[in-house]
Amino acid sequence: MPQASNDAPRQLSGSRVIAASKGNHGGRPKGIDDEMLTFAITPQNKGVPVPEIVDRSADAP
């Protein structure tokens, strides 16, 4: 069976076009958002050991 070329623009079905117009592009949601990343990186930049950051994050809401 011949391989399809990836150079062609991607065609979206009707429902996907509507979703894309609303800003929804599908896929798996992010596991870590910007707030969670900042919560972890800020203490690390201040020299707090990673195990201690993990313990703190387990207590976070």
Please, which pLDDT band fits residue 4 given cuts at 50, 70 and 90? low
What is residue 48's DSSP assignment? -
Is pLDDT at 51 greater than 80 in this prediction? yes
**Range 6-11 average pLDDT:** 62
Please, which pLDDT band fits residue 14 given cuts at 50, 70 and 90? confident
Predicted TM-score of the model (pTM):
0.39
Q: Which of 31, 53, 32, 33 is nearest to 43 (CA)?
A: 53
